[in-house]
Structure 1
């Protein structure tokens, strides 16, 4: 039996597909990090994008590590946001066949649910303060830059509630799915 046939044998037919609203929420969650990530990449390329000259120098720093950090942070943030898609797609229920040692096997629900709920907690603590962005002065930014950055980071506030809703949907589908009798 090859890996593809093995994956088909090990798939869990008892898991209902994700509801449409959960698929939409997962896709929106995957996109909320994009505006701030693109902004950080622009900063890494040397564009001030709302910072004063001094502010940009302080943010990026004198070495090449500042831009590398900004790009890496953008890529890792977007990758983390895209993991939400696993809660509504097949690869969140059955490991892809090309994964070493576990390919084609059913993913235990807790392996996805526990990190997802931890992510909700971390994202809530991390991004909720951005609701107060405009109430905080930022002397290293221009007035227009301060407003722009607020709008670019504001979508991140929605990440935690979106992930919570999608995680709850995944949890219910994986635990309350009817068992198919063979």
Structure 2
């Protein structure tokens, strides 16, 4: 007559992310910021070391180049905020298995994007268009933190995957 029901077994609470993984996740977002701000300054007309002629002919600024440069900066920063989701205990929009697969994919993409930007930044064309050594130094300081992104993102993803495998929420 009366069916006895038992409450669903509670899922084990995931172990909080280690402090080093939290710091690495925040560092990823901060490492991408200088190059993004440099590109936005370039799109805004702030002198970043390129002559007006180079901006017009090579980068199409003003023009469609502005949308490209700002869009690249926004997309890169949004991708760099993703690691914060992996170390957050408050908000998990996806199941751990799905988020883990997404984390590994995003890690690979972020690593490739960071490496691609470094390669593009250090190509002969980029450097030959710079008009002064001071501009080159500022440019190098803006793009140098990208070298850390692959290592930091790999650390965050590895930590997330390890934490959720231990508790049986990811296979």
TM-score range relative to shorter protein: 0.7 to 0.9
Q: Which runs of 5+ in 2 are unaligned?
A: 1-7
How far apart are 1:86 and its partner, in Å? 1.2
CA distance in 2, matches of 1:149, 1:107: 39
**Cα RMSD over matched residues?**
3.0
Structure 2 partner of 1:174: 164
Structure 1 runs, 4 residues or longer, greater than 6 Å off: 134-137
- Structure 2 length-normalised TM: 0.78
Query: Relative to 1, partners in 2 of residues 1:140 and 1:128: Cα closer, same or farther, differing over 3 Å?
Result: closer
2:138 counterpart (136, 148, 156): 148
Query: Relative to 1, partners in 2 of residues 1:11 and 1:166: Cα closer, same or farther, differing over 3 Å?
Result: farther
How far apart are 1:22 and its partner, in Å? 0.6
Query: Relative to 1, partners in 2 of residues 1:87 and 1:69: Cα closer, same or farther, differing over 3 Å?
Result: same
CA distance in 1, matches of 2:64, 2:119: 27
Deviations 1:130-153 (A, max 9, x none): 7x9499872211222122111100
Structure 1 partner of 2:96: 107
Structure 1 partner of 2:73: 74
How far apart are 1:119 and its partner, in Å? 2.5
Structure 2 partner of 1:5: none
Of structures 1 and 2, the larger Rg is shown by 2
- Structure 1 length-normalised TM: 0.74
Number of equivalenced pairs: 160
Structure 2 partner of 1:139: 128
Q: Which runs of 5+ in 1 are unaligned?
A: 1-8, 96-104
CA distance in 2, matches of 1:65, 1:49: 18
CA distance in 2, matches of 1:123, 1:10: 42
